[in-house]
A and B are shown apart, each in its own frame.
Chain A
């Protein structure tokens, strides 16, 4: 307590209030623990190989978490980028083409960085130049980037897409390397987000851009920083996409843009961005989302639903969980904003 003049009047209600706040804060983590437990039970109950399935969780979660962690910077500004899946696809496609032309891994990675960050920067610059909402430019970018990637794949590849030798990024296809890279990337972003002026200003911009402007914070400067971070996440996502599957086709990473939105909300990220944004939402939400999908898939298969039906039902259930999470989160937000 910082002030002796506090109007707080009832210790019972303080406890209730604090308990509610703490409960809301730990709810995403509790949900992840619950989903993990449920997943393990469902897998072992069917005599499946748990280790193999956990590797699958890491494989599927890695790309999502890496891209989503960078994307948190954009979501914090109260905007969202739906083109990240298309950026990942283009980045991976150009990476494959570069390696196949030069056989130079260093140059390949360099070009992938240029493409990943460049696509993001282009989105933010278009938004700045034409002064239109960021998400509108990213919708346009999604179409453009997907079209370019598809054209490159069709004109340079076979019917199965474009491939590069497994030896290029294949050595990265190890659960421990993936866990280590996720840890480093999330910690780096968390450091920038929670322990630097950049993070503080990003969050404040998300809370009130007008007030932020009148506090000397440049929307364009911090939007560019946010997009660069998202671009770096895209590059990492593209590299690990190729490490797992060295072939890219037009469907590679296609759902990532929407998956990120759902995943970070699962992880406790406020959909409006602002000061309550959390980097770890991508980590918790990404793996929660993957665990939920895989668990539902197994359960539905057990119930005799075919794989297409199972995918559809899983999507519907995920959407319902997404709506429920947003509703609960917004209830808390509304309660905090009632007039005095």
Chain B
């Protein structure tokens, strides 16, 4: 059967090392036309590495052969790969984190590198010159966005004013505009809410069964089994097994991914929605632009309070306002701890009252990528190990950091490793280490398991549950219904900047009960 299918991309014997870390070990991969191939594996298994090499983002350390449409393939850059190395219909990649530039408009992002086509005047030779015809550029950008079903993004808007989902959708439009024959979608769906995911699935379905192909990378096993025709599992830089759709078995796939069976509970196993009576964080009548329209809530000691909704419902802004990172036009946020009550006016006050915040936009807002694991973990916990509240004594700092690395099982060569070289899951563990280590009593977690694998997710869920049992309060903002239902004592559903419905933890609660209030 497979021999009749046409190969579009073939990689043989690819090895990639990053300093001391071997990310790919003599790996083979074949992609067929019309196929939607899923790549799954734990963080650091090599999924992004192999596809980013094919998409021109970096070079392999060693490769026996890499062929695209039967010809040798060695793109010098992502743009080169997207253009098929000058022959058109190449390989486009939508990257896991932000792949757009914040300081320019949506349209300029979409047409980055080819703005000349919008210049006002044209020489006889076809070369253009003069100023950019912005009207024409915005119109073309609008068409590109509409071609993939997006009509609510203004092409003239500065990229920095868009939220994470909208930026991701612009990036998708930008890649598809080049009409690639292969698209790599690297852990993108976790950045998207329900509506954004539908757009992505429609694009995948357009590619399916044609002359084109898709490589889809995701940590969501249910999603990847639903979307993909075949599924290749990677572990520690090796390809472990490829499953055809008929062979899909979640337990077998999980086992192949992590090399063992998952022990213990995934989400918390109890359905007891009890928590402390003491209110530790409260807000009243919060207004922030059109994102929050009079939101009020109370978070109790020992409670996991879930906040759900579509991407633009205001829940991400709510997290930032509660932490003092955004100032509301009206309303107040009150934190209560051993020292009494305080109004949260900025992040500094929030931190003084043992609050921690994990942003959805991990690489931009939660981590300093160029800094080491030590720098990132230690920065929030200096009060814990400083001598006399002012002096930093290196051995104490190292001990503090090593404790977090050990307790969260962060995979690294040493504490001085740059965070940028870690996989997504290990980066997120560093973020957790930063906030848990410093003794946060109230944690605001915005999509804390975005882009992390099943093993790390389980570890984080278990950690959240442990923190709840210790009396810590957690505000869990999530776009994943199973996560909210699996972990929360209460769930508040937001829509259009308002809280529409509250659900209590229950075995009988289902997606269908909740989704109606979101859409």
Question: A residues touching B (Cβ–Cβ < 8 Å)?
Answer: 1-3, 5-10, 13-14, 16-17, 194-197, 199-201, 203-204, 207-208, 210-218, 272, 274-276, 333, 335-340
By the criterion CB–CB under 8 Å, are A8 and B413 in contact?
yes
Interchain CB contact (< 8 A) of B323 among A199, A201, A214, A336 = A214
A197 touches B386 (CB 8 A): yes
Once bound together, how far apart are the Cα atoms of A340 and B369, in whole Å? 12
Docked Cα-Cα span, A212 to B390, in Å, equals 18
CB contacts (< 8 Å) of B49 on chain A: these are 339-340
Q: Specify the chain A residue showing the minimal Cβ separation from B413.
A: A8
Q: Does B414 contact A (CB under 8 A)?
A: yes
Given A200-B378, A218-B348, are A7 and B368 also a contact pair (CB < 8 Å)? Answer: no
Q: In this complex, what residue of A is CB-closest to B387?
A: A195
Q: Which residues of A contact B415 (CB under 8 A)?
A: 2
Closest to B59 in A: A338
Listed from nearest, the 5 A-B pairs whose CB atoms lie closest are: A207-B368, A216-B351, A208-B368, A17-B19, A9-B22
Q: Which of B146-154, B200-208, B241-249, B401-409 contacts A (4 or more CB under 8 A)?
A: B401-409
Are B58's CB and A3's CB within 8 A?
A: no
Q: Is B123 an interface residue (CB 8 A)?
A: no
Tell me the residues in window 46-86 of chain B with beta carbons closer than 8 Å to chain A beta carbons. 48-49, 52, 57-58
Knowing A8-B413, A275-B372, A275-B375, the reply to whether A340 touches B364 (Cβ < 8 A) is: no
Q: How far is the CB of A323 from chain B (nearest CB, A)?
A: 21
Which has the most chain B C-beta neighbours within 10 Å: A5, A10, A204, A216?
Answer: A216
Binds A, one of B419-427, B485-493, B509-517: B419-427
Could you tell me if A275 and B370 are in contact, using CB atoms closer than 8 angstroms? yes
Contact A196 B390 (CB under 8 A): yes
Cβ of B109: which chain A residues have Cβ within 8 Å of it? none
B379 and A215: CB pair below 8 A? yes
- Chain A residues whose CB sits within 8 angstroms of the CB of B57 once the complex forms: 339
- Contact in complex: B414, A1 (CB < 8 Å): yes
| Shortest distance between the CB of B406 and any CB in chain A (Å) | 7
Q: Among the listed A3, A204, A208, A338, which residue makes an inter-chain contact with B410, where contact means beta carbons less than 8 Å apart?
A: A3
Q: How would residues 344 to 385 of chain B score, 1 for a CB under 8 Å from any chain A CB and 0 otherwise?
A: 001110111000010100001111111110010011101000
Could you say which of A2, A10, A17, A203 has the most chain B C-beta atoms within 10 Å of its C-beta? A2
Residues in B whose Cβ lies below 8 Å from that of A204: 368, 371, 375, 379
Taking the closest CB of chain B, its distance from the CB of A189, in whole angstroms, is 15
Say yes or no: A7-B21 contact (C-beta < 8 A), given A216-B348, A275-B368. Answer: yes
Tell whether, in the assembled complex, residue B375 and residue A207 are in contact, meaning their CB atoms are under 8 Å apart.
yes
Q: Tell me whether A6 and B364 are in contact (CB under 8 A).
A: no
B18 x A340 contact (CB < 8 A): yes
Residue of B21, B52, B95, B411 with highest tally of chain A CB at under 10 A: B21
Chain A residues in 8 Å Cβ range of B371: 203-204, 207-208, 274-275
Judge whether B162 is part of the interface by a CB distance below 8 angstroms.
no
Collect the chain A residues with CB atoms within 8 Å of residue B411's CB. 3, 5-7
B residues contacting A by CB (< 8 A) are 17-23, 44, 48-49, 52, 57-58, 95, 236, 323, 325, 346-348, 350-352, 357, 359, 364-372, 375, 378-380, 382, 386, 390-394, 402, 405-406, 409-415, 418, 420-423, 434
- Indicate if the CB atoms of B380 and A215 lie closer than 8 Å: yes
Q: Which residues of chain B are within 8 angstroms of A218 by Cβ–Cβ distance?
A: 348
A339 touches B392 (CB 8 A): no
Smallest beta-carbon distance A26→chain B, Å: 16
Option from A10, A17, A336, A340 in Cβ contact (under 8 Å) with B370: A336
The minimal Cβ–Cβ distance linking B322 to chain A, given in whole angstroms, is: 12
Given contacts A204-B379, A214-B325, contact A339 B52 (CB under 8 A): yes
B370 near A272: Cβ-Cβ < 8 Å:
yes
15 CB contacts below 8 A, A to B, read: A1-B413, A2-B406, A6-B413, A14-B413, A194-B392, A195-B392, A208-B368, A214-B365, A217-B348, A274-B368, A333-B370, A337-B418, A337-B421, A340-B18, A340-B44
Q: Give Cα A333 to B421, complex, Å.
A: 11
Question: Which residues in B have their C-beta under 8 angstroms from that of A3?
Answer: 405-406, 409-412
Q: A196-B391, A339-B57 are in contact. Are A215 and B52 (CB under 8 A)?
A: no
Distance in angstroms between the alpha carbons of A14 and B416 in the assembled complex: 14
A212: B residues at CB distance < 8 A: 368, 379
| Beta-carbon contact of B382 and A197 below 8 Å | yes
Known: A2-B412, A339-B95. A196 touches B392 (CB 8 A): yes
- Asked whether, in the complex, the Cβ of B44 is within 8 Å of the Cβ of A211, the reply is no
- Of the candidates B18, B23, B95, B410, the one having the most CB atoms from chain A within 10 angstroms of its own CB is B18
Complex CA–CA separation, A272 to B371 (angstroms): 12
Q: Is the CB of B366 within 8 A of A211?
A: yes
Is the beta-carbon distance between B366 and A214 smaller than 8 angstroms? yes
Closest CB-CB distance, A92 to chain B, in whole Å? 34
Given A212-B379, A214-B357, A339-B49, 7 more A-B residue pairs with CB atoms under 8 Å apart are A10-B20, A197-B392, A200-B378, A274-B371, A336-B421, A340-B48, A340-B422
Contact B359 A214 (CB under 8 A): yes
Q: Are B17 and A13 in contact (CB under 8 A)?
A: yes
A217 to B370 CA separation, bound complex (whole angstroms): 18
Give the residue name and chain of the B residue nearest to A194 (CB). B392
Known: A210-B365, A339-B48. A195 touches B393 (CB 8 A): yes
CA distance A275 to B17 in the complex (A): 25
Distance in Å: Cβ of A336 to nearest Cβ of chain B: 4
* Given A2-B412, A200-B379, A210-B365, A340 and B421 contact (CB-CB distance below 8 Å): yes
Q: Are B18 and A338 in contact (CB under 8 A)?
A: yes
- Alpha-carbon separation in the docked complex, A292 to B57 (Å): 39
A203 to B370, CA, bound (A): 11
Minimal beta-carbon separation of A194 from chain B (angstroms): 8
CB distance from A308 to the nearest CB of B (A): 42
Chain A CB count within 10 A is highest, among B52, B347, B357, for: B347
Question: Which of B20, B95, B368, B423 is A13 in contact with, Cβ under 8 Å?
Answer: B20
Report whether A211 and B19 are in contact in the complex, using a CB–CB cutoff of 8 Å.
Answer: no
Whether B21 contacts A211 by the Cβ 8 Å rule is no
Tell me, in angstroms, the Cα distance from A217 to B371 when the chains sit together: 16
**Residues on B with beta carbons closer than 8 Å to the beta carbon of A275:** 368, 370-372, 375
CB distance from A19 to the nearest CB of B (A): 11
Cβ 8 A contact of A6, one of B359, B390, B393, B412: B412
Given the complex, which residues of B lie within 8 Å of A200, measured CB to CB? 375, 378-379, 382, 392
Specify which chain A residues have a CB less than 8 angstroms from the CB of B413 in the assembled complex.
1, 6-8, 14
* A214 CB contacts on chain B under 8 angstroms: 323, 325, 347, 357, 359, 365-366
State A340–B418 Cα separation when bound (angstroms).
12
Residues from chain A with Cβ under 8 Å of B364 in the complex: 208, 210-211
Minimum Cβ distance to chain B for residue A132 (Å):
15
State the Cβ distance, B19 to closest chain A Cβ, in Å: 4
Residues of chain B contacted by A217 (CB below 8 angstroms): 348, 379
A277 to B313, CA, bound (A): 41
With both chains docked as a complex, state the minimum distance between the C-beta of A256 and any C-beta of chain B, in angstroms.
Answer: 28
* Complex Cα gap A290–B364 (Å): 39
Task: Select one of A13, A194, A215 contacting B347, CB under 8 A.
Answer: A215
Q: Which residue of A lies closest to B374 (CB)?
A: A275
Q: Residue of B at shortest CB range from A335? A: B19
Closest A residue by C-beta to B367: A211
Contact B420 A336 (CB under 8 A): yes
B382 touches A211 (CB 8 A): no
Residues of chain B within 8 A (CB-CB) of A8 are 20-21, 413
- Measured in the bound complex, the distance between the Cα atoms of B509 and A247 in whole Å is 84
Q: Within the assembled complex, what's the spacing in Å between the Cα atoms of A122 and B434?
A: 35
Which residues of chain A are near B48, meaning CB under 8 Å?
339-340
Given that A7-B411, A8-B21 are known contacts, is A213 also in contact with B368, CB under 8 Å in the complex?
Answer: no
